[in-house]
Homo-oligomer: A and B are copies of this chain.
């Protein structure tokens, strides 16, 4: 019986790999480049090679390894079908079927990277011990991962948890990366916070430390901590959008905890001061007792969660 699993997190630039025991201890982690040319056709063989090398270098037998979980930046359904991963050059194909011949005898599982990161946070991070979690990654965009009764919600076409594209604002002129207008991530991602700040700086003539600094989500929340009134208005607008968005999500999936990660989460607990009141005002009463927690695994959430895919 195997005692180890590999967790793989495929990004547009690098592939992160982790070697874990079944208790969730990471025994090794490393990266290899993502070779996206030739429609990304080298990516899976490169991963297989890296895993075989690791097994050989440890003088292990293949039987000691249960399997390899792979997180992908695109929708992946319950059958392991990747529906598209633009950043990797991948079109629709079955990841599990493609990988199996390269790693004979190993269990192979695939998942969307944001979903898998949620699973990682549930296994060894901020959601440890919980079974109903919504993980929200506030980065360049907004990623979401939803766990229901301990299992990932992938959805019909692997697009479960695409919460960054919930429509929250009519009449938005700027276009979201998805082609729609008024998506949640246009206001509450790192990029969204910068947009809100830029608008507020244009709209108002008030003095603000933000006028002299390079705009970033971090700069905004640093200014909030210093009591900058204009930055506080930006944070309130951010909280208005995200608090309402999370309330809608809770009305649908009724989680125990929201785990907030990504660049914006580096601002810390102060985020919750702006999210929670709006959330409570908008959510159905049965979901009022939800917790808000900061993600704890950082960029490693993906390798943890991919490894956990194998153990479910």
Question: Residues on A close to B: CB < 8 A?
Answer: 75, 78, 83, 131-132, 144, 146, 148-149, 151, 153-163, 165-167, 178-180, 244, 247-249, 251-256, 282-287, 289-290
Contacts and interface: CB of A to CB of B under 8 A. Distances in A.
A286 B162 contact: yes
- Copies per complex? 2
A10 to B, nearest CB: 19
A167 B132 contact: no
Contacts of A131: 156
The 6 A-B pairs at the shortest CB distance, nearest first, are namely: A155-B254, A159-B286, A165-B284, A156-B256, A167-B282, A159-B254
29 contacts: A83-B286, A132-B155, A144-B252, A146-B253, A148-B151, A148-B153, A149-B151, A154-B254, A155-B253, A155-B287, A157-B287, A159-B251, A159-B286, A160-B252, A161-B252, A162-B254, A162-B287, A163-B251, A163-B252, A165-B284, A166-B248, A167-B247, A167-B282, A167-B283, A180-B284, A248-B252, A249-B252, A252-B252, A253-B253
B287 A159 contact: yes
B289 A251 contact: no
Contact of A254 (B132, B157, B283): B157
Contacts of A75: 286
Contacts of A162: 251-252, 254, 284, 286-287
A244 B284 contact: no
Contacts of A283: 167
A157 B163 CA distance: 21
Nearest to A160: B254
B284 A248 contact: no
Contacts of A154: 149, 254
Given A155-B287, A162-B287, 11 more contacts: A146-B253, A148-B148, A154-B254, A157-B289, A158-B286, A159-B251, A159-B254, A161-B254, A165-B251, A166-B248, A248-B248
Contacts of A286: 75, 83, 157-159, 162
B284 A253 contact: no
Contacts of A166: 247-248, 251-252
A153 B131 CA distance: 12
A247 B131 CA distance: 25
B252 A253 contact: yes
A162 B283 CA distance: 10
Contacts of A290: 156
Contacts of A151: 148-149, 151
A175 to B, nearest CB: 13
A163 to B, nearest CB: 6
Contacts of A167: 244, 247-248, 251, 282-283
